[in-house]
């Protein structure tokens, strides 16, 4: 029955966490569903009320668990991935994306915004001009030096150059879709 009383919603959340032993993330999803149902019906969401916010905050503090997370990729993982990437054009592109992003911890948005004109070959490797990024609020851009790797399989510079050569790229975006024509 809508609209729900915020006190009832707070009790419901506490019941989900303490009696039904649901994880806090699941309890928060329940609350999000309640809020969306209220908004869709034209009612004010009880999730905006102090008692509900405070209950969820307290449940997180009392019953929350630290995020488990995933272990990060390391060089051995990258080598294993690169060893199974197929020796076809799509594999060249995907390998270049993987190695370049791993070498410089680039965001997806930064990767897809790289044009061929943003690359410069240097004796030590590759210089990539990133014109805009999340942390570049003044839009000054930055240059990233990417050295040649010791291992041909995991060298980001060699992978990017191989992709450019095999895809016959002359200008435009560095990473692009591949037509099967």
Q: What does residue 112 show for φ and ψ, rounded to 5 degrees?
A: -75, -15
Residues 15 and 52 in one domain: yes
Q: Strand 119-122 and strand 125-130: pairing?
A: antiparallel
Length of the chain: 181
Q: How many domains does the chain have?
A: 2
Q: Using CA atoms, how far apart are residues 1 and 35, in angstroms rounded to an integer?
A: 13
Torsion of the alpha carbons at 50, 56, 58 and 59, rounded to the nearest 10: 160
* pLDDT on residue 115: 93
For residue 146, being part of any structural domain is answered with: yes
Average pLDDT over residues 31-36: 94
Confidence of residue 181 (pLDDT cuts 50, 70, 90): very low
3-state helix, strand, coil in the chain (%, to 5): 55, 10, 35
- Mean pLDDT over the full length of the chain: 89
Residues 88 and 159 in one domain: yes
For residue 172, being part of any structural domain is answered with: no
pLDDT tens-digit readout, 73-122: 898 999 999 999 999 999 999 999 999 999 988 888 888 889 999 999 99
Structure-token pair, residue 39: 């908004």
* pLDDT on residue 69: 79
* pLDDT on residue 143: 87
**Angle (deg, nearest 10), helices 50-63 and 6-14:** 10
Domain containing residue 102:
75-166
For residue 38, being part of any structural domain is answered with: yes
Residues 15 and 44 in one domain: yes
Residues 56 and 119 in one domain: no
Residues 110 and 154 in one domain: yes
- CATH code of residue 91: 1.10.443.10
- CATH code of residue 20: 1.10.150.130
Average pLDDT over residues 121-147: 80
Average pLDDT over residues 135-140: 63
CB 101 within 8 A of CB 160: no
Helices (H), the chain: 6-14, 24-40, 50-63, 75-84, 89-104, 108-112, 156-166
For residue 69, being part of any structural domain is answered with: no
Average pLDDT over residues 139-166: 91
Average pLDDT over residues 137-151: 82
Residues 144 and 107 in one domain: yes
Residues 128 and 161 in one domain: yes
Confidence of residue 144 (pLDDT cuts 50, 70, 90): confident
């Amino acid at each position: 029955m809508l609209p729900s009383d915020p006190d009832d919603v707070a009790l419901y959340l506490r019941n989900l966490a303490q009696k039904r032993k649901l994880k806090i993330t699941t309890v928060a999803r329940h609350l999000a569903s309640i809020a969306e149902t209220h908004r869709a019906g034209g009612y004010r969401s009880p999730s905006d009320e102090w008692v509900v916010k405070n209950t969820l905050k307290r449940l997180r503090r009392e019953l929350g668990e630290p995020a488990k997370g995933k272990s990060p990729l390391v060089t051995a993982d990258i080598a294993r991935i690169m060893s199974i990437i197929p020796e076809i054009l799509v594999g060249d592109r995907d390998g270049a994306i993987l190695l370049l992003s791993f070498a410089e911890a680039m965001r997806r948005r930064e990767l897809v915004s790289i044009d061929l004109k943003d690359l410069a070959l240097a004796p030590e490797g590759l210089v990539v001009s990133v014109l805009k990024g999340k942390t570049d609020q003044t839009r000054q851009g930055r240059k990233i030096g990417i050295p040649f790797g010791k291992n041909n399989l995991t060298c980001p510079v060699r992978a990017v150059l191989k992709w450019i050569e095999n895809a016959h790229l002359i200008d435009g975006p560095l990473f692009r879709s591949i037509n099967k024509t």
